[in-house]
């Protein structure tokens, strides 16, 4: 496959096949508001755990807030308890989500210690059983996101592609790293290609190391995957889908100029403020602006000043006063 407009996962019609990942601690409502302007084929809220979801924990529900322009939007659940899977999936459906993903990739010890996240990779049959329960409970499509295996000696992605297909999942997203790798090394796209060859009806979504449009094209070419999930590549460049669209349409990149990035930064700060109180907005923006400024040179003093700013008013002034012109042409 390659970039395409009008793509379907099960009954769900999507505007294209470039998706924005669930990112715990990052893909919050402000982040998704910014992303939605560039129209990815699908985007996700941050992962939520089944247990607090089922007990109607307020903070968990807050993470699942979304607004209509964010559609198509998915919810992602994480857990290992078969008896909660159907109920948790139904809650996501009742909240109005378009699709539900089951997380079998999170590498964090806190998550894997009860067998959740990538801990599930050690129990392929349980993944199948949970997907089956989820599918039984809802009408919307069910998907699963995995890593290739716990470690290189235990690669399970091909087997899980078949298990997920049999359980009725409409798509499987494969992050081409093992749990042992964490985020280091390269994603091994060969495993994604192998899964795509085995898949009959289930869609295969490739994931790992797509940081620019050329990498998206390379992943499609290398694996033949049906769609791509962009994760860290969306951080500080919510326009990446626009870049990919342009690359396929006219072989040119959309890449905004430093002055345009400044406008996006100002907008991101206003968006954060519209959902959060002052102090949290300041802290959230400090994190977010680092991603946007990562590829610029000559922004060291700006970054330091933002980190020392006492309030968001000061941050607005710093962004306005900064001389962005010398940065022109310095985006890598």
Ligand X SMILES: Cc1cc2nc3c(=O)[nH]c(=O)nc-3n(C[C@H](O)[C@H](O)[C@H](O)COP(=O)(O)O)c2cc1C
Q: Which residues bind ligand X (CB under 6 A)?
A: 21-26, 46-47, 76, 103, 105-106, 145, 175, 187, 207-210, 230-233
106 catalytic? Reply is: yes
Answer for the pair 202, 8: CB distance below 8 angstroms, yes or no: no
Nearest distance in Å: CB 25, ligand X: 6
Nearer to ligand X, 192 or 327 (CB): 192
Is the Cβ of residue 185 or residue 326 nearer to ligand X in the bound state? 185
Bridge partners for 99 per DSSP? 74
Min dist. Cβ of residue 326 to ligand X (A): 30
Helices (H) and strands (E) in the chain, counts: 14, 11
Instruction: Give the SS3 label for residue 280.
Output: helix
CB proximity list for 143: less than 8 A, separation 6 or greater: 9, 74, 99, 100, 101, 102, 169, 170, 171, 172, 173, 205
Q: 10 Å Cβ neighbour count for 138?
A: 18
- The Cα-based distances of 195 to 2, 7, 186, 276 in angstroms read 17, 20, 18, 42
Nearer to ligand X (CB atom), residue 192 or residue 210:
210
Minimum distance of ligand X from residue 176's CB (angstroms) = 8
Residue 226 near residue 204, CB atoms below 8 Å: yes
Reported as type and span, the H/E element at residue 51 is helix 50-54
Whichever of 21 and 306 has its CB closer to ligand X, that residue is 21
Residue nearer to ligand X on the CB measure, 16 or 181: 181
Beta bridge partners of 75: 100
Q: State the Cα–Cα distance between residues 292 and 296, nearest whole angstrom.
A: 8
CB of 215 to ligand X, least distance (A): 9
> SS3 for 203?
strand
Residue with Cβ nearer ligand X (135 or 147) = 147
Beta carbons within 10 angstroms of residue 25's beta carbon: 10
CB of 320 to ligand X, least distance (A): 29
Burial degree of 173 (CB within 10 A; 0-12, 13-18, 19+):
buried
Q: Is the dihedral of CA 162, 168, 173, 179 positive or negative?
A: negative
Q: How far is the CB of 324 from ligand X (least distance, A)?
A: 27
Q: Look at residues 206, 200, 213, 193 and name the one whose alpha carbon lies nearest to residue 145.
A: 206
Query: How many Å apart are CA 189 and CA 228, to the nearest integer?
Result: 12
Name the minimum Å distance from CB 100 to ligand X: 12
From the list 45, 106, 225, 289, the catalytic residue is 106
- For ligand X, give the closer residue by CB, 232 or 262: 232
What is the set of active-site residues?
A: 106
């Amino acid at each position: 496959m390659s970039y395409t407009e009008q793509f379907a996962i099960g009954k769900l019609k999507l505007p294209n096949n470039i998706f924005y990942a669930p990112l715990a601690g990052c893909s919050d409502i402000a982040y998704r508001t910014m992303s939605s302007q560039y129209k990815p084929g699908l985007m996700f809220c941050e992962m939520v755990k089944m247990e607090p979801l089922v007990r109607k924990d307020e903070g968990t529900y807050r993470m699942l807030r979304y607004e209509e322009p964010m559609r198509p939007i998915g919810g992602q659940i994480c857990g290992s308890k078969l008896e909660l899977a159907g109920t948790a999936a139904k809650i996501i459906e009742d909240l109005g989500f378009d699709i539900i993903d089951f997380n079998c990739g999170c590498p964090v010890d806190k998550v894997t210690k009860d067998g959740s996240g990538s801990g599930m990779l050690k129990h392929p049959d349980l993944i199948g059983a949970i997907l089956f329960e989820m599918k039984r409970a809802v009408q919307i499509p069910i998907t699963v996101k995995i890593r290739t295996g716990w470690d290189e000696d235990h690669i399970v992605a091909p087997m899980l592609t078949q298990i997920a297909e049999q359980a009725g999942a409409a798509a499987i997203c494969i992050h081409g790293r093992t749990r042992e790798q964490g985020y280091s090394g390269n994603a091994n796209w060969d495993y994604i290609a192998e899964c795509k060859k085995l898949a009959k009806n289930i869609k295969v979504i490739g994931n790992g190391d797509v940081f620019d449009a050329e990498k998206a094209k390379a992943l499609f070419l290398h694996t033949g995957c049906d769609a791509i999930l962009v994760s860290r590549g969306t951080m500080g460049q919510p326009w990446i889908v626009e870049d990919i669209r342009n690359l396929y349409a006219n072989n040119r990149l959309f890449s905004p100029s430093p002055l345009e990035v400044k406008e996006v930064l100002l907008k991101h700060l206003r968006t954060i403020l519209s959902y959060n109180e002052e102090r949290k907005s300041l802290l959230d923006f400090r994190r977010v602006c680092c991603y946007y400024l990562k590829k610029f040179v000559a922004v060291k003093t700006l970054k330091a000043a933002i980190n020392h700013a006492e309030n968001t008013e000061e941050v607005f002034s710093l962004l306005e006063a900064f001389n962005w012109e010398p940065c022109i042409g310095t985006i890598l």
